[in-house]
A and B are shown apart, each in its own frame.
Chain A
Amino acid sequence: MGKNILVIAEAREGSLRNVTMEALAAAKRIANGGEIVAVSFGSQAANYVETLGNYGANKVYTLSNPQLDTYTTDAYFQAIMQVIDTVKPEAMIFPHTGIGKDLAPRIAARLGIGLVSDVINVELKDGEAIFTQPIYAGKAFQKKKVNEGIIFATLRPNNIPADQPISSSVEAVDFTVDLKDIRTIVKEVVRKTSGRVDLSEAKVVVSGGRGVKSADGFNLLQDLADILGGAVGASRGACDAEYCDYSLQIGQTGKVVTPDLYIAAGISGAIQHLAGMSSSKVIVAINKDPEAPIFQVADYGIVGDLFDVIPLLMEELKKSVVS
């Protein structure tokens, strides 16, 4: 028996986030012939229909109410509950992003169901969806399933690869939602990350620790990240020393990232930091101290001063990009 699956389509600054396509790939794994219904939000909701279809959605509910242009818990909650009442999904996959983290548990509570958060994999075993979830920030993993009720999970970005898009037919449903009593008001949004690569979705992360020595030093890391099309991260030590904002912190407290390439510069590699990045596909460590624990998880290591190594690295990368 196939399962009808609801997938939340999240867009940012006018384009769908990668995690949306990844969630569609996850949905396909467990749909087993069932229908995949995506939901898009806001004035531009209809713009995403074709792409969502090409990545696997059979139907897209477009909620073009402009009250959904900016995220508020209450408006999105009410809108999604109305979609759920109509679609009656047997499974739901939300992104484990700012929106998904805020919304999914509240919806689970309203429906009185379980939720498996922050999953990095899903497989179908004897017809049951089994989710893999990092615990202790990736120091261990657990496989979890939902025993009763709707199957519900939030998907961590950058873990399940999106499928290749195939031109497909898709049904768009213009869905009108009734929104009232919004209890929180967004007075202002300060986009600190605008134009920059999103840390949680970045394919390359250049991360600095206390060894970066200053806020200025982080500009050098940003230059390297720019060449690689990546984002800048930091260790707790660097944040505590106020070299950078806490929003960049990677570790057991802070963000957990899984890029293709993680470059750790001037980071000793305390276990609390390793928890946030050790699942990265390739790890490069640059550190003056050959005994630094970061070298134990690194695929490639250079023992040296990051202020010598990074300028050389940028030069070399520019050459190889040109050639």
Chain B
Amino acid sequence: MNIIVCLKQTFDTEEKIVIENGAISEDGVEFIINPYDEYAVEEAIKLRDEVGGEVTLVTVGPDRAETALRTALAMGADRAVIVNDEELFGDQFTTAKVLATVLKDREYDLIIAGNMAVDNGSGQIGPRLAEELNIPQVTTITKIDVDGNKVTCERDVEGDLEIIETTLPVLVTAQQGLNEPRYPSLPGIMKAKKKPMERLDASDLNLDPAAVQSPTVVEEIYLPAKKDAGKILSGDLADQVKELVQLLHNEAKVV
């Protein structure tokens, strides 16, 4: 089975956000594989180990994104493709078009993506790509079984669970709870250095950047307003609780 994993490198979730000249600063920031994409990588490796085949990683991003690909290769993916071309960096419309162009002439049975990225959090890429490739989608899955051509997924829908049946080829997006991603082993890290990394730009893809320009534009980026220091209550615990209920009732007016 040929499995494609769409992967994005994102800020570590513990990073503080700093805005400089109207943009989010990357100075000194730790980058990681987007946590939901890490579930996708893990699931792809597990499925390949069960039924055979290959796991190909695909990303759209700058040089630094190769680190994330190397980590996923060290986890056990077989090969990686990076589209590293500033002219092809844009919003979700653009990224999905670029990924579809990369994939349209390749063989794939299953595409796994994270259900969203923890940076701009749009969750658009999976369903957009499924539509571009005209294949079905099952989003926010917490379990997948592949039996020949038949695919059974459990999906988390706002806390409820749906059991979905479909057939290959299909695109699924990973939700938390799908698996516990492995850490790269030392031999895995050594092997990863020799695994193939394909680097593509607009001309390799025969893609006109003007045709995939972002239809949306960012007008402004800003940080949330700082909150005033809160009130730490004191005194006997029972009195604190009494005071809290009074405050919630009379001052905050929320109960």
Binding site for B on A (CB under 8 A): 73-74, 97-98, 101-106, 108-110, 112-118, 130, 133-149, 183-194, 198-200, 203-204, 228, 239, 245-249, 251-254, 260-261, 270-272, 275, 278-279, 281-285, 290, 295-304, 308-309, 312-313, 316-317, 320
Question: Which residues does chain A contribute within 8 Å of B44, judged by CB atoms?
Answer: none
- B217:A117 contact, CB within 8 angstroms: no
- B224:A140 contact, CB within 8 angstroms: yes
CA distance A303 to B244 in the complex (A): 12
- A189:B223 contact, CB within 8 angstroms: no
Question: Which residues does chain B contribute within 8 Å of A304, judged by CB atoms?
Answer: 237, 240
- B158:A316 contact, CB within 8 angstroms: no
CA distance A247 to B164 in the complex (A): 18
- How close is B217's CB to chain A, nearest CB, in angstroms? 5
- B218:A144 contact, CB within 8 angstroms: yes
CA distance A252 to B10 in the complex (A): 12
- A298:B224 contact, CB within 8 angstroms: no
User: Within the complex, which residue of A109, A254, A260 is in contact with B176, where a contact is CB–CB below 8 Å?
Assistant: A254
- B227:A297 contact, CB within 8 angstroms: yes
Q: Which label, helix, strand, loop or mixed, suits the secondary structure of the A interface?
A: mixed
- A246:B137 contact, CB within 8 angstroms: no
A/B interface sample: 20 pairs, CB < 8 A:
A73-B139, A105-B125, A105-B127, A136-B17, A136-B118, A137-B118, A140-B19, A142-B120, A142-B219, A145-B216, A147-B216, A185-B164, A249-B176, A253-B36, A260-B254, A271-B16, A272-B14, A282-B254, A300-B233, A308-B237
- B158:A198 contact, CB within 8 angstroms: yes
- B230:A299 contact, CB within 8 angstroms: yes
- B254:A281 contact, CB within 8 angstroms: yes
Q: In the complex, identify which listed stretch (B49-57, B62-70, B89-97, B189-197) lies at the interface while the others stay far away.
A: B89-97
- B220:A300 contact, CB within 8 angstroms: no
- B247 CB-CB contact with A under 8 Å: yes
- B160 CB-CB contact with A under 8 Å: yes
- How close is A86's CB to chain B, nearest CB, in angstroms? 20
- How close is B125's CB to chain A, nearest CB, in angstroms? 8
User: Within the complex, which residue of A149, A252, A298, A302 is in contact with B241, where a contact is CB–CB below 8 Å?
Assistant: A302
Shortest 6 CB-CB contacts between residues of A and residues of B: A114-B215, A105-B124, A109-B131, A183-B136, A114-B216, A105-B127
- How close is A239's CB to chain B, nearest CB, in angstroms? 8
CA distance A251 to B14 in the complex (A): 11
| Count of chain B residues with a beta carbon within 8 Å of a chain A beta carbon | 81
- B124:A115 contact, CB within 8 angstroms: yes
Binding site for A on B (CB under 8 A): 11, 13-17, 19, 24, 35-36, 91-93, 96, 118-132, 136-140, 142, 152, 156-167, 175-177, 214-224, 227, 229-233, 237-238, 240-242, 244-245, 247-249, 252, 254-255
- B219:A145 contact, CB within 8 angstroms: yes
Given contacts A141-B221, A275-B13, contact A114 B93 (CB under 8 A): yes
Please, which residue of chain B has its CB at the minimum distance from the CB of A315?
Answer: B241
- B245:A320 contact, CB within 8 angstroms: yes
CA distance A309 to B36 in the complex (A): 36
User: Within the complex, which residue of A97, A184, A228, A301 is in contact with B233, where a contact is CB–CB below 8 Å?
Assistant: A301
- B121:A246 contact, CB within 8 angstroms: no
- B252:A253 contact, CB within 8 angstroms: no
- How close is A125's CB to chain B, nearest CB, in angstroms? 9
- B224:A102 contact, CB within 8 angstroms: no
CA distance A271 to B135 in the complex (A): 38
CA distance A320 to B253 in the complex (A): 13
CA distance A141 to B121 in the complex (A): 11
- A185:B124 contact, CB within 8 angstroms: no
- B162:A188 contact, CB within 8 angstroms: yes
Which residue, A105, A188, A194, A245, has most C-beta atoms of chain B within 10 A? A105
Please, which residue of chain B has its CB at the minimum distance from the CB of A139?
Answer: B17
Which residue, B14, B159, B167, has most C-beta atoms of chain A within 10 A? B159
Question: Which residues does chain B contribute within 8 Å of A103, judged by CB atoms?
Answer: 127
- B139:A316 contact, CB within 8 angstroms: no
- B165:A187 contact, CB within 8 angstroms: yes
- B159:A248 contact, CB within 8 angstroms: yes
CA distance A94 to B136 in the complex (A): 21
